[in-house]
Every structure is written in C-alpha cells, then in structure tokens.
Chain A
Amino acid sequence: QSVLTQPPSASGTPGQRVTISCSGSSSNIGSNTVNWYQQLPGTAPKLLIYNDNQRPSGVPDRFSGSKSGTSASLAISGLQSEDEADYYCAAWDDSLNGAVFGGGTQVTVL
C-alpha cells in the first residue's frame, strides 16, 4: 500500500489529453513539493516534473504538473505513442522522514 495514491491505469488516443491524479496528506504533498517520474519499459525512472510544475530541460511542454492542497496532477496533452510508460508521483514526507512514492499509473496509448 503506497503512501501516495494514484490510479493504476489511464489511457487515451493519440492527440488526446490524459490526466493522472496523486493524492497524499498534510505531511507529504500538503507540506512539500511534488515530483513526477516517467519510467519507460525496462529502463530507470526519469524526472519529468519537479517543484509541483517545473519541467527539467528537455522535457516537452506537453507535460504539465499542478497541485492543490494534498493532491497533485500530471497532465499529458497531445498524447503520443512514445508516452506509453509508467508514471509515478513522489514527495518528501515530514512525518516518515523519507521520500514517498505513488503506486504508479500505467499509461496506454490506444
């Protein structure tokens, strides 16, 4: 059971917009910034969004992040086949004194 809650799956057709939710609590998302990671099959995770809504250099602006209270969201607009991957949210948890991850959301491009 992950500390942060994500839907296990999401899907869309090419060009559509897909949104992934991430629910936490006052000790993690409510207190600290949220990060999102993309993990393509058989590879290590890659930082997609940091500080709730910032994109590292090289990440397409089709990916965007937002946060409100103890929940966060990742949006993928203009969905492409190469976006098929697992997506994880994460944040530091002040009560646990450790990082916490969501269970991951598998995105499928139909």
Chain B
Amino acid sequence: EVQLVESGGGLVQPGGSLRLSCTVSGFIFSTYETNWVRQAPGKGLEWVSYISGSGSTIYYADSVKGRFTISKDNAKNSLYLQMNSLRAEDTAVYYCARSVGNSFYYYSIDVWGKGTAVTVSS
C-alpha cells in the first residue's frame, strides 16, 4: 500500500524555523516526483514546492521562495521541507503528496499524506 506520513509540525514563533519530514512506503521513492501542498485554516489548497525523483529539479511557489527548501533522501525514503523566516500566513496543514506524469503536461497528484499542522504565532 502506498503511504506518505508527515511529521515535524508544531507551534513556532514568527521568524522561527521548522523542518517537516515525510516518510514514504509502498513505492520506489527515487522514481517518483513529490510535492508539498498546504491548506490554511478554512482556506483552499496551495501548492508549495516540487522535487523530481532524482532531486535534480526543484520548484517553489513565489510565496515561499527564498525561505523554504525542499530536499529528499532516497536511501531513507524521506522528503523534507526546511521552513525558515516563518510568518503568520504560513500557518497551515502541510501535505506531502506524490505526483505522476511523464511530463508536466500530465502532472497529477495521485496520493496524499494526512498532513501535519504548522502554527506560526507568538
């Protein structure tokens, strides 16, 4: 069974840092693209970042560029999101999500984790 399990969420002060982790199982992690998608309380979904299977291609949403860093360790079947200079507007549930598609033309998130909550508040 394909599974993605996030961890590392919590309460952090504005300007602080947090590192999210996502442990995957049930598929060959190195051959799949993965993403972070977030959802602020009572709001819609917002894509945050993408990393290719090898880790060679990375993209970020403008709202987090320069503050967040996505990375992965294929040997540990783990995806990470290092979040620095956190702001109140970064408060959200963060989902780890697998995407598929031979190209971005066919880009599709097919499996989601249950999410981990991040609250940025003093």
Contacts and interface: CB of A to CB of B under 8 A. Distances in A.
A15 B62 CA distance: 42
A45 B114 CA distance: 9
A102 B45 CA distance: 8
Contacts of B46: 101
Contact of B115 (A33, A44, A88): A44
A37 B92 CA distance: 18
By size class, the interface of chain B is 20 to 34
Contact of B44 (A35, A51, A102): A102
Interface residues of A, number: 30
A45 B45 contact: yes
Q: Which of B44, B105, B108, B112 has the most CB of A within 10 A?
A: B108
Contact of B106 (A33, A47, A88, A97): A33
Interface of B: 35, 37, 44-47, 50, 59-62, 95, 99, 104-115
